[in-house]
């Protein structure tokens, strides 16, 4: 093993000590700031879109104002800054900690709303069928987590200022998840995997009541049963389709009869 010449050891040790000294003497510019000044600086950074600079300020504020409403607000602001700064995993972790530590906080409805919103925007997979990705490999966990959080918000805080928006997003999520199942079913049908297509179409019909995707799900059942020669099941599915959608354009035009996407006017 190579060793430094003895004559160089003192110089190397001195250099190491100098580096260590520099690292430990980094000045904390907030050392003499009041909590109000830290909060104001953090707000300025957030207003300017510098979320990465706001987060450490909010962390300092949370520590110095520990046990006060100001610390709780700093924690919520930090979660928002992390979310806007594309640090979604960190934002969710911050919110989980807030919800656990402050179950009686008057801002709990906002914490739940922000948590739901992060997952809502994260990876709903609403338009994944437009890509070339195998739909059967999509993960809908974020959408389901978002729905459950919004449901908790609207159940516990029905009169919250965030409740109405949360309800609208819940409807959107349900429609999205149902449409996801239908597009996976169609994916399998187009490839001749009729049993798999039936399973996904049945899931859409059973799990999501009265959503726009139900019509196509029933049509996929009709076509898949027919392709497998299961005439009784085909006729049963057709009767359900005719009863619920007497003017269905799928019957007349096949898959080309799909109407304008449900999300266009959301």
Asked if residue 149 is part of any domain, the answer here is: no
CA distance 142 to 120: 7
Total of domains in the chain? 1
Asked if residue 46 is part of any domain, the answer here is: yes
Sign of CA dihedral 114, 118, 124, 126: positive
Whole-number Cα distances in Å, 265 to 172, 261, 262: 11, 9, 7
CB atoms within 10 A of CB 99: 16
Task: Report the 3 state secondary structure along 200-211.
Answer: HHHHHHHHCCCC
Asked if residue 227 is part of any domain, the answer here is: no
Q: Does position 49 have pLDDT exceeding 60, yes or no?
A: yes
Asked if residue 56 is part of any domain, the answer here is: yes
Asked if residue 45 is part of any domain, the answer here is: yes
Tens-place pLDDT, residues 202-259: 999 999 988 989 999 999 999 999 999 999 999 999 999 999 999 998 988 888 755 5
In this prediction, residue 132 carries a pLDDT of: 44
Asked if residue 76 is part of any domain, the answer here is: yes
Contact of 72 with 107, CB cutoff 8 Å: yes
Asked if residue 42 is part of any domain, the answer here is: yes
The values of phi and psi at residue 106, to 5°, are: -65, -10
Contact of 61 with 35, CB cutoff 8 Å: yes
Domain of residue 74 covers: 38-88
Tens-place pLDDT, residues 57-116: 999 999 999 999 999 999 999 999 999 999 999 999 999 999 999 999 999 999 999 999
Asked if residue 57 is part of any domain, the answer here is: yes
């Amino acid at each position: 093993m190579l060793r430094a010449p003895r004559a160089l050891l003192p110089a190397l040790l001195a250099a190491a000590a100098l580096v260590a000294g520099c690292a430990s003497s980094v000045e904390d510019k907030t050392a003499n700031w009041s909590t109000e000044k830290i909060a104001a600086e953090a707000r300025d950074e957030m207003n300017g879109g510098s979320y990465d600079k706001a987060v450490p300020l909010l962390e300092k504020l949370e520590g110095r104002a520990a046990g006060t409403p100001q610390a709780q607000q700093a924690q919520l602001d930090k979660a928002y800054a992390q979310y806007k700064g594309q640090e979604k995993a960190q934002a969710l972790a911050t919110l989980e900690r807030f919800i656990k530590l402050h179950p009686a906080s008057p801002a709990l409805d906002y914490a739940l709303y922000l948590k739901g919103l992060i997952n809502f925007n994260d990876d709903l997979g609403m338009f994944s069928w437009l890509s070339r990705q195998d739909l059967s490999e999509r993960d809908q966990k974020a959408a389901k987590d978002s729905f459950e959080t919004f449901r908790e918000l609207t159940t516990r805080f029905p009169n919250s200022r965030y409740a109405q928006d949360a309800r609208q997003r819940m409807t959107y999520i349900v429609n999205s998840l149902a449409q996801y199942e239908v597009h996976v079913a169609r994916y399998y049908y187009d490839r001749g995997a009729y049993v798999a297509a039936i399973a996904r179409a049945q899931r859409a019909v059973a799990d999501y009541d009265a959503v726009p995707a139900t019509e196509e799900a029933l049509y996929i059942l009709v076509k898949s049963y027919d392709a497998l020669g299961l005439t009784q099941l085909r006729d049963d599915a057709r009767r359900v389709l005719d009863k619920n959608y007497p003017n269905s354009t799928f019957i007349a035009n096949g898959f080309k009869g799909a109407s304008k996407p449900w999300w266009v006017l959301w």
